[in-house]
Structure 1
């Protein structure tokens, strides 16, 4: 096997022991069907599994040494697991993919063809989101619009982590030092020539998703705060607008008092104004706190992940 295979598949997994065998069988068949003489590898990143995911990877490696694995010391999250995969993948091109096979590996051949045409990034785009629930479809649509409105680094709508990355793109992303990572944002920031491949996403056949509503919410916050400072600037504009309105209202009170005399201020209007401004202040402090918290994580300088064990010939 060449020291640098053509394709490296990086597959973050957590508690997916039942999904490993069908994934390896299907993906290896697809990769063999490409007929690439430079070969391929499948690199699993076990992100702190508590079941028998790691033994399942070991069995797959014993059957085929091109299947390899990294076991992280605990659950660091999918973005950290993807970073570990990019750091240790050996291929000329790297393809992140989920183990649930919702993203069809048969699309990889089309991705490689576009790469050979000169594109450094080839990302998969879902034709529809019928496999998702209605709330998830709506919130995903809102998120993509909000992110691309707030950030200068536009991410393709309905595109996940499933994509092909040229080695040059991988090296650029590896050189980025930040700890709070939103991989789709990093892929967009890196630039290069990009192309899309459309596909139909299927229902998960094995296991259950590890992403609940709260994790998706925190991922969305990470995406926006890592890609844009607009949420911080908004409060400056909002504060200026409220101050201007307050001056206008003060002038109105002065004129009214001069012309009609003083009256007793109403308690309800005072409470509404107080609660409104107090709520704005708390929201602005919360937004500021999100950014300060991320500064704290970056200043600590801790590693993004810690490798506990290696399966196969992994650098």
Structure 2
């Protein structure tokens, strides 16, 4: 069994040695040959140098350096395209997702499953706000999505080659990897675990990035926001009709419609509905614009491996 492990890295120089050591220890009992693909997503610290040092100590390490920062999902895609294994494991560099679960995941895949994904039952070391927003995100996403996406799951998973090839065949630019695997189907099962605090450093997903990620997820896998905009438009028309009846009734009884406050409130409400509708439409139109340009997702500037992968050949 040849195993590939894909890890996107962004300013993670301090954790690279521990990451490689734990991955190597987890791999040894299960695979005769493997590769640990570390993707440097345009880091501004010494992450690339740390990857080079790790390769000197562990020949299984493969380094892929992107030409610029493209975001977590694109970096993960670059690593998946560079992977050559029969089974592929993906996780984040912060080691909040334990690589020691590899053995259990491999055993479950031996039972005939195509995808084994990690499902968090507890999130240690995270603020109440982060836990609450994550809880709300996954449930709102499932309510809005046209495809059932497992709750409380990230990109931490083990997949086989058939499933990975199906996902890599999807051409969209704004990528939501966990949703793409859910859409692909195949036999999938979850494994529960407790998510540990970060080994070192700070999160690379501040609130603004999380919000952008949530919008990408919603618009990638659902047209319900567009339907919501339509329903809001009909609701505003209904309220307008009721207000017109009220005004006509007041005129018949020779009563003046009271106060400017109600007028301002009505204008503000309808303006808000219009702007929300335009914003939702703008998200989808912007996505169409980006897709129409058909630019490459990324370029690889350097790669550390004996034989250049398809990712490097494609960027050359």
3-state secondary structure, aligned to 1:126: strand
Q: Report the more deviating stretch, 145-154 or 71-80.
A: 145-154
- 1:18 paired with 2:14, answer yes
- 1:291 paired with 2:297, answer no
CA contact (8 A) 2:5 2:37 kept: yes
* 1:86-235 matched pairs, under 5 angstroms: 86-235=80-229
Aligned residues: 308
Query: CA separation of 1:29/1:130 partners in 2, compared to 1, >3 Å: closer, same or farther?
Result: closer
**Match in the other structure for 2:312:** none
3-state secondary structure, aligned to 2:123: coil
Question: C-alpha distance in 1, partners of 2:110/2:81?
Answer: 23
Question: C-alpha distance in 1, partners of 2:56/2:242?
Answer: 76
CA contact (8 A) 2:96 2:197 kept: yes
Shift of 1:262: 4.8
Shift of 1:241: 2.0
Question: C-alpha distance in 1, partners of 2:82/2:133?
Answer: 34
Shift of 1:249: 3.1
Q: Report the more deviating stretch, 68-77 or 278-287.
A: 278-287
**Match in the other structure for 1:52:** 46
Give the TM-score, by structure 1 length: 0.94
CA contact (8 A) 1:61 1:312 kept: no
- 1:271 paired with 2:264, answer yes
Shift of 1:248: 3.1
Question: C-alpha distance in 1, partners of 2:15/2:63?
Answer: 15
Shift of 1:251: 2.9
CA contact (8 A) 1:19 1:99 kept: yes
Shift of 1:253: 3.2
Gaps of 5+ in 2: 310-316
Task: Tell me the alpha carbon deviations over residues 212-241 of structure 1, each in whole angstroms, 9 at most, x when there is no partner.
Answer: 111111111111111111111111111112
Q: 2:234 aligns with which of 217, 222, 240?
A: 240
CA contact (8 A) 1:150 1:230 kept: yes
Question: C-alpha distance in 2, partners of 1:244/1:29?
Answer: 64
Question: C-alpha distance in 2, partners of 1:190/1:291?
Answer: 22
**Match in the other structure for 1:29:** 25
Question: C-alpha distance in 2, partners of 1:18/1:131?
Answer: 19
Task: Tell me the alpha carbon deviations over residues 121-169 of structure 1, each in whole angstroms, 9 at most, x when there is no partner.
Answer: 1001112123321001111111111100011212211111100111111
CA contact (8 A) 2:233 2:273 kept: no
CA contact (8 A) 2:172 2:291 kept: yes
Gaps of 5+ in 1: none
Shift of 1:287: 1.5
Shift of 1:205: 1.6
Query: CA separation of 1:264/1:119 partners in 2, compared to 1, >3 Å: closer, same or farther?
Result: closer
Question: C-alpha distance in 1, partners of 2:287/2:82?
Answer: 26
Shift of 1:208: 2.1
